[in-house]
Structure 1
Amino acid sequence: MRIFKILNKYATRCAFAVALPLFGSVAAMPLASLAEPAHGIAMYGEPALPAGFSNLPYANPEAPKGGTIRLAEPGGFDSLKPWVLKGNSAWGVGVHVVESLMMRSIDEPFTLYGLLAESVETAPDRSWVEFTLRPEARFSDGSPVTIEDVMWSYKTLGTVGHPRYLGAWSKVSRMEQTGERSVRFTFKEQDRELAMLMGMRPILKKAQWEGQDFAQSGLTPPIGSGPYLVDQVDPGRTITFKRDPDYWGKDLPINRGLNNFDEIRYDYFGDANAMFEAFKAGEVNFWRELSAQKWDSEYDFPLLTQGEVVKSEIPNQRPSGIMGLVMNTRNPIFRDWRVRQAMIEAFNFQFINKTLNGGLDPRITSYFSNSTLAMHSGPAEGDVRELLEPHARKLLPGAMEGYSLPDGNDRPFDRQGLRRALKLLEQAGWTVQDGALKNSDGQGFDFEILLNQSGSAMRSASETQQIVDIYLESLKNLGITPRVTVLDSAQFVQRTNNYDFGMTWYERALSLSPGNEQLLYWGGDGVTLPGSRNWMGMKDPVAEDMIAKMLEARSPQDFNAAVRALDRVLMAGRYVIPVSFSPVSRLAHSTWLKYPDNTPLYGDWPGFMPEVWWQEAKK
């Protein structure tokens, strides 16, 4: 099942039971020492692992190699190019086939270690960063990875690639080759994260794509430097990756205990129900259960009772992210915050959560719920207040005073909430006329709710449909009857890329190290730029200023304050009607699939499954 494809796709796992400090203990590292080649780089202080480390702490260096794992994905695909806006790319290409200069550790909030690059060097003020390639780095066709490939990849992705690459590239003033195997990026502005972002871009083989229109989608298997090759492709149905026996990086310490399967196969299904049935039948080996109620009540199928399948729970220490129904403020009816608050009041979360999930999972009350980055309840205080006060006149109610979601109740209709909603709508110029909500010009309160028939990373299609169905019954009491349109994955991607909806299901995974991607999620450029993650269409200079403060922060304390201030602006914006999240990942899998005992900080997150798993000999 898909899990947050890049930040856009992994676009969401659920949060954790007990939060740790964002940066742990930050070493008092002299700035001058940053201007030396190093094996890794952290947002603040030093990487946790020293030079010469043996393996990542959450990997098992003794894990056996071999076997095949079959995984399930919803929907379909018509492209093998995840780096462009066009097309619906197969999952796994960007993960298994192509590498970047540096690799992220999912056991640290934001630390990168050298992968294609043997070292990284940055200025004391991080105004530039320089990477030196490993001399042994090779593409799967045996050709060396060169600085020419690196520079071509960065320029191409930054100019004609997916919009997620454009923001960071626009902050680069100069890219230059500084040695046979070295490249330096100099930045236009103060932004500590840029030195790290430059280490995380995919490196493609220039000779394969040069002379082509790179922005077009396509089914040509890319030549990468990663541990796997594209083996078999049945467009829209199946893609199989086989481990490259000549993979250049298989003996690197950072790869010890990773990439253990000889073959990784992804089968595509129409929706989550079909995927689950395939899992119960033994056609796929792994399943992420998103419903606590189902986890407790529906796992009695034969393979499990016979011991062929086991249940595992993986804790994590990451933010919940945001998930629920997002309102598109490009639509005039949602531009007034009072209307958006009314939509939130009409959503009886307590009843919906109890009906669909037994009330077992808590609600998302912050974009960074369950982490030290989450805004504190009540009025803003201390550093957070100091950051917001200069913008006080621009802030929506609740940002400074404190914002909380309505409680709702366990009955189908929350009458108090509906009364509050009607009052807010009336203040915004909407009243019920002849049974329908209209404005003074007689215009109806009409909008479309867009749903994906394949569901999402965190909710099945049937569950999102049930949530919407219950919500529609509540909206009828306000004289609102939205249209509901259910589309296949390709159509849904096309419509959401162009913001052609009134309300839709929305999921954004957020990490313990938010940075430049926040502009992709909430930045004003996304109001008109196709393919951004700013589905709500917000253009808020205060939010952008808080993101700037995050990127300029020189200490964890300043960083945390800026994120909490941003969280307040986002919640008070009332753009999303949040639902519940899970404090653990619930994983059902074939008994012979194993993972290390040492759970990483991020838990079940990109880089965990299938990377550190292995196949135990079947009995």
Structure 2
Amino acid sequence: MPIRGSIIGRAVVAAARDLGRRLGRALPLGLALAVALGGGLASIVPAAAEPRPAIAMHGAPRLTPGWDHVPWADPAAPKGGRITLGVVGSFDQLNPFVFRGNPAAGLRGGAEGSNVFESLMDRGLDEPFTLYGLLAETIDVADDLSTVTFRLDPAARFSDRTPVTPEDVVFSFETLREKGLPYMRANYRDVEGVEKVDDRTVRFRLKSAENRELPLILGLMPILPAHDWKDRDFEATRIDPPIGSGPYRVTTVEPGARLVLTRDPDYWAKDRPVRRGLYNADELRWDYYRDRNSMIESFKKGLVDLTSESDPGRWSTAYDFPAAREGLVVKETIPLDVPRGMTGFALNTRRPLFADVRVREALARLFDFEWANRNLFWGLYERQHGYFDGSELSAYARPADDRERALLAPFPGAIAPAFLDGSWRMPTTDGSGRDRAALKAAFELLKAAGWRLDGARLVSQTGAPFSFEILTQTREQERLAMGWQRTLAALGIDARIRTVDAAQYESRRRTFDFDVTLWVWAASASPGNEQIHRWSTGAADQEGSFNLPGVKNPVADAAITALIGARSRDDLVAAARLLDRVLMAGFYVVPLYHLPGQWLAHWTRIEHPANTPGSGWTLPAWWVRPDEKKEGGTP
């Protein structure tokens, strides 16, 4: 019997609603059920808090007081030299926080580090979601989650030596909430306001006690110098060097061609434990290339020091050249202990063609992974199943537990039994590209959805052809799409491929002007607010969001709400599995593949510590060998 209709279920719902009244706000029913089943008021109100130098979303920070450096850094790493990376594409913008333009690489975040712009706190890269003090030396979260207070490090300075002040924090929040990227606007929507408390302290007032991730999200907010943006249009394209608080300054800008950052010898945090042994090169340079092949040729010549690779064909053949055979270039596979995310063809459900889940499932069945892996990828890829593969968050081949079923209780029948009990499996083929069983299974789904064969064409009941366009932006994507196109054609489906340049692709991606396109959704071990921007109903029609398929599913919304409100790791795992399950069952994306790890190739003149974070390689930990610090850093 569904929980909601049972005697116990009615009592749980009543208790949950009473809990909402005591808190002075209405809880979404899915979250309320989880809260009530988890133990009432105590399960969502944290223990009394106090200012502390680190905070974990669940549990305690891994690094205990007195730690000297992060585990993936070598505090004895030498300083100096240059590291050059290659980028395919172009840039015309040095403000990475707005919708307009193509921002340059390397300014903030990701594997390449927070080189120019920093946040109040820094992320622990080998923990699910833990932050350590950076611009802010402490964080204080109120026991009722009504406020979060940051106390700034008195030594914190921007690169022009002006101090980082509460006014800068207030300016950054108000500007990014109003004019920042869509995910920033969404993240900050639950903040009532921000105020300066004293010369070193700033306090955020929160609207809701349900968003337990929000204090950490605010800790990761980039802090911008208010004086640098005075009298500027924040949303306009900016190409002059911005001022940041990070370890590097922008020193050379050649739009579309090159960006050079130079290490600041007087960087304010260079001796802080959170930065010791990191950001070692005197110069970081990003050279831009029209295509991947040109960049690889530059790498072979020593003009690029380090490159990550995702193409199995190149990984198997392109790195066999004289310098590699002489041991001057090495290939590494960096292990990961985080979810693999999702790589797949997004089916735009805003198009009537893809409105029926049976049609979407048929298209997923018509992607022959076994053929593609053998013929295109040297057999090196692993099949993608769901959105959190390789982690405890994955629902694939796992039955829903009691926590997950409690979240699902308000939506009886919303998920097919095979997905709910974990018996559903990703179809496999004989690898021929025309597996008769796979074609038959797909055709039965299409037929049930109202499609029929008219000669060699698949048509609707009115005779309209089943036809769509696959939008790609690289030759590799085009090649993959052609393999899928070949199998689709066997059922009379007309799939056309259109390859466009990076700028046009980004414009069409942001405005959802596509039928089908390939996209990668990275995942963390602690998913939360970013899922709103990816899979919520509200994001489906918000231009620039990463909800490319246009998912509008109340179960997904409830799962996201529960993710954000989770107060224990068990609650978060249950919510993540429900989200994974409903997205898999909805076939919004045709799952493709993932790598067994991260592939990196680099010249031996640059090195990194033996330990790497569980989230993957990170450029700040690398250094140039002392005997290679020639003029300019690299040959």
Q: Same fold (TM over 0.5)?
A: yes
2:407–2:558 CA contact under 8 A, matched in 1: no
Quick check: 1:569 aligned with 2:588?
no
Quick check: 1:79 aligned with 2:93?
yes
SS at match of 1:198: helix
Runs of 4+ more than 6 Å apart: 29-33
Quick check: 1:263 aligned with 2:272?
no
- Alpha-carbon shift at residue 212 of structure 1 (Å): 2.5
Aligned partner of 1:13 in structure 2 is none
Quick check: 1:47 aligned with 2:67?
no
Aligned partner of 1:111 in structure 2 is 130
Letter in 2 for 1:86: R
Aligned partner of 1:411 in structure 2 is 432
- Alpha-carbon shift at residue 618 of structure 1 (Å): 2.9
The structure 1 residue matched to 2:116, chosen from 82, 97, 102, is: 97
Aligned partner of 2:624 in structure 1 is 615
| 1:202-233: CA deviation from partner (whole Å, max 9, x where unpaired) | 11111222333212222122111111011111
1:80–1:90 CA contact under 8 A, matched in 2: yes
Quick check: 1:445 aligned with 2:475?
no
**191-200 or 116-125, which moves further after superposition?**
116-125
Q: Cα 1:576–1:343, aligned 2, differ >3 Å: closer, same or farther?
A: same
SS at match of 1:97: coil
Quick check: 1:350 aligned with 2:366?
no
Aligned partner of 1:546 in structure 2 is 559
- Alpha-carbon shift at residue 82 of structure 1 (Å): 0.8
Please report the RMSD computed on the Cα atoms of aligned residues, expressed in angstroms.
1.9
Work out the CA distance in 2 between the residues paired with 1:437 and 1:216: 47
Letter in 1 for 2:241: P
Aligned partner of 1:502 in structure 2 is 515
Work out the CA distance in 2 between the residues paired with 1:506 and 1:30: 35
Letter in 2 for 1:596: P
- Alpha-carbon shift at residue 396 of structure 1 (Å): 5.2
2:44–2:567 CA contact under 8 A, matched in 1: no
SS at match of 1:324: strand
Quick check: 1:126 aligned with 2:145?
yes
Aligned partner of 1:141 in structure 2 is 160
**433-442 or 70-79, which moves further after superposition?**
433-442
Note the 1:75-224 alignment, pairs <5 A.
75-94=89-108, 95-189=114-208, 190-224=210-244
Work out the CA distance in 1 between the residues paired with 2:312 and 2:273: 37
Quick check: 1:63 aligned with 2:77?
yes
SS at match of 2:621: coil
| 1:431-468: CA deviation from partner (whole Å, max 9, x where unpaired) | 2224322212222222211111xxxxxxxx33222211
Aligned partner of 2:262 in structure 1 is 242
SS at match of 2:274: helix
SS at match of 2:332: strand
1:81–1:218 CA contact under 8 A, matched in 2: yes
Work out the CA distance in 1 between the residues paired with 2:401 and 2:51: 40
- Alpha-carbon shift at residue 383 of structure 1 (Å): 2.0
| 1:318-353: CA deviation from partner (whole Å, max 9, x where unpaired) | 101000211111111011100101101111111111
SS at match of 1:255: coil
1:55–1:61 CA contact under 8 A, matched in 2: yes
Aligned partner of 1:423 in structure 2 is 444
Work out the CA distance in 1 between the residues paired with 2:147 and 2:55: 13
Work out the CA distance in 1 between the residues paired with 2:586 and 2:237: 36
| 1:80-111: CA deviation from partner (whole Å, max 9, x where unpaired) | 11100111111112231111100001021110
Structure 1: 5+ residue runs without aligned partners?
1-28, 453-460
Work out the CA distance in 1 between the residues paired with 2:46 and 2:402: 31
SS at match of 1:169: helix
| 1:99-131: CA deviation from partner (whole Å, max 9, x where unpaired) | 110000102111000110011111224332110
Q: Cα 1:127–1:376, aligned 2, differ >3 Å: closer, same or farther?
A: farther
Letter in 1 for 2:385: T
Work out the CA distance in 1 between the residues paired with 2:365 and 2:496: 20
Letter in 2 for 1:176: E
Work out the CA distance in 1 between the residues paired with 2:405 and 2:281: 51
Aligned partner of 1:582 in structure 2 is 595
Letter in 1 for 2:397: S
1:282–1:303 CA contact under 8 A, matched in 2: no
**421-430 or 98-107, which moves further after superposition?**
421-430
TM-score between both structures, scaled by the size of structure 2: 0.88
1:229–1:243 CA contact under 8 A, matched in 2: yes
Work out the CA distance in 2 between the residues paired with 1:329 and 1:63: 51
SS at match of 1:35: coil
| 1:478-520: CA deviation from partner (whole Å, max 9, x where unpaired) | 2112221111111111110000000001101000010000000
1:396–1:573 CA contact under 8 A, matched in 2: no
Letter in 2 for 1:322: M
1:388–1:400 CA contact under 8 A, matched in 2: no
Structure 2: 5+ residue runs without aligned partners?
1-42, 109-113, 629-635
Letter in 2 for 1:445: F
**546-555 or 536-545, which moves further after superposition?**
546-555
SS at match of 1:611: helix
- Alpha-carbon shift at residue 401 of structure 1 (Å): 4.0
Aligned partner of 2:299 in structure 1 is 279
Work out the CA distance in 2 between the residues paired with 1:561 and 1:68: 46
Aligned partner of 2:404 in structure 1 is 384
The structure 1 residue matched to 2:485, chosen from 453, 472, 478, is: 472
Q: Cα 1:505–1:397, aligned 2, differ >3 Å: closer, same or farther?
A: farther
1:346–1:414 CA contact under 8 A, matched in 2: no
| 1:389-411: CA deviation from partner (whole Å, max 9, x where unpaired) | 32123335644244332112221
Aligned partner of 1:4 in structure 2 is none
1:550–1:559 CA contact under 8 A, matched in 2: yes
Letter in 1 for 2:256: G
Larger radius of gyration between Structure 1 and Structure 2: 2
Q: Cα 1:583–1:127, aligned 2, differ >3 Å: closer, same or farther?
A: farther
The structure 2 residue matched to 1:433, chosen from 446, 454, 457, is: 454
Letter in 2 for 1:612: A
| 1:169-217: CA deviation from partner (whole Å, max 9, x where unpaired) | 1101121222221111122121110010001011111122233321222
Work out the CA distance in 2 between the residues paired with 1:34 and 1:66: 46
**92-101 or 210-219, which moves further after superposition?**
210-219
- Alpha-carbon shift at residue 50 of structure 1 (Å): 2.2
2:478–2:499 CA contact under 8 A, matched in 1: no
Work out the CA distance in 2 between the residues paired with 1:392 and 1:72: 51
SS at match of 1:287: strand
**127-136 or 321-330, which moves further after superposition?**
127-136
2:151–2:200 CA contact under 8 A, matched in 1: yes
Q: Cα 1:477–1:397, aligned 2, differ >3 Å: closer, same or farther?
A: farther
Work out the CA distance in 2 between the residues paired with 1:396 and 1:462: 37
| 1:296-322: CA deviation from partner (whole Å, max 9, x where unpaired) | 444320111122211222111010100
2:478–2:497 CA contact under 8 A, matched in 1: no
Aligned partner of 1:516 in structure 2 is 529
Letter in 2 for 1:424: L
| 1:240-266: CA deviation from partner (whole Å, max 9, x where unpaired) | 111112211111111000100000000
